Structure 1
Amino acid sequence: MLIRTFITFAVAIVVSMSTGLFAPAALAITPIPLTEVGYKDCPAEMAKGAVTSGGVTQGAACFLIIGKAENKSGKTVYDADVFGRIYDADNNNVLPNRGRVGLIEQVPPGINDFEMRVTVPESARQPLQLKKFKASGFTTKIRQ
């Protein structure tokens, strides 16, 4: 009898979801294309810091990743995670094991300027190469 009740309940949920009678709140990820992605040195007041990896502390270089973020959703997007790869002049990945490089807190509808701070090892030779940058976020705040 318990199995029959469970099966009936499961079928009722599937039917109600497919007919729209029951629709869970959806947090759809909204893609944010990034264009004109570049970088510049951090202002002196932001430039202090160090990079740690595996317990070893090394000197750091601070940069601002800059560019244009296009929000086509018609709603403000919040907490847009930025993903990409950063290579030095010798084609070494300066942030290995990290696809996520930062966050854009708010992207209003349309094309917007963005900038975010990144810290890379001081040994990374310039010019840096920024590849495969993209972002995605949510049309409702998910972090308080």
Structure 2
Amino acid sequence: MARVKGFRIWGVLIACVFWISSWVMAPAAWALAQVSLTDLSYEECPTELAEGAITSGGASRPANCFIITGNAENKTGKPIYNADIFGRVYDANDNPVMQNRTRLGSIDEVPPGVSDFELRISVPANQPTPLKLKQFKASGFTGTVRR
């Protein structure tokens, strides 16, 4: 009986050591890296992309298509994968274009240094331009991410 109890204690201790060490030695994909987004601008989509644009959500309504462009700066020295783009887009009257939504899209790969990016968004047709792009940033992983 005492032997069984001893094995049980050692088993629990070994399991705890593995569990704690898994936190310390996390895979590289867990390393979330920040990307600065600068020099933001936008333009209307080419007609072949804009044709039939509608808003997302419950009711489909006519929308205007825009391409947001800018520079993505990766200071990590390693490629960043699957970087989610966050930001706020306002119309000419300072009304939010996308209610309750700050994730706007993603960049598949951001190489080290400064690179260009673009992002397509749909804006309800009844919201006036010019658009205001605020608080843009991105974050992704320095390791490969399975999707």
* TM, length-normalised to structure 2: 0.83
Structure showing greater radius of gyration is 2
Q: Is the 8 A contact 2:55 2:123 kept in 1?
A: yes
Q: 1:106 maps to which residue?
A: 109
Partner of 2:18: 13
* Number of residue-to-residue matches in the alignment: 140
TM-aligned CA deviation for residue 75 of structure 1 = 1.3
Residues 1:123 and 2:126 aligned together: yes
Report the equivalent of 1:29: 32
Q: Determine the C-alpha separation between the residues in 1 that align with 2:10 and 2:129.
A: 65
Shift of 1:143: 3.8
CA 16–90 in structure 1, closer or farther in 2 if over 3 Å, else same: closer
Deviation at 1:16, TM superposition (A): 4.8
Report the CA distance shift for 1:126/1:15 in structure 2 as closer, same or farther (over 3 A): closer
> Which structure carries more strand by proportion?
1
Identical-residue share of aligned pairs (%) = 44
The answer to whether residue 137 in structure 2 is matched with residue 139 in structure 1 is: no
Native 8 Å contact 2:31 2:143 kept in 1: no
Q: Deviations over 1:72-121 (max 9, x none)?
A: 11111111100001111111111112110011111111111111111111
The worse-fitting range, judged by mean Cα deviation, of 110-119 and 8-17 is 8-17
- Relative distance call for 1:3 and 1:120 in structure 2 (3 A) is farther
Change (3 A) 1:86 1:73: same
Counterparts in 2 of 1:101 and 1:16: CA distance versus 1, 3 Å: closer
The structure 2 residue matched to 1:63, chosen from 52, 63, 66, is 66
List, as ranges, runs of 4+ consecutive aligned residues in structure 1 with deviation greater than 2 Å. 1-7, 9-18
Q: TM-score, normalised on structure 1?
A: 0.85
What corresponds to 1:83 in structure 2? 86
| Aligned partner letter, 1:78 | Y
Q: What are the Cα deviations for residues 21-69 of structure 1, in whole angstroms up to 9, with x where unaligned?
A: xx23132011000111121111111112111332x11101100111110
Shift of the 63–16 alpha-carbon distance from structure 1 to 2, 3 Å rule, reads: closer
Unpaired runs of 5+ residues, structure 1, are: none
Could you say which residue in structure 2 is the equivalent of 1:42?
45
From the two aligned structures, give the one with the greater helix fraction: 2
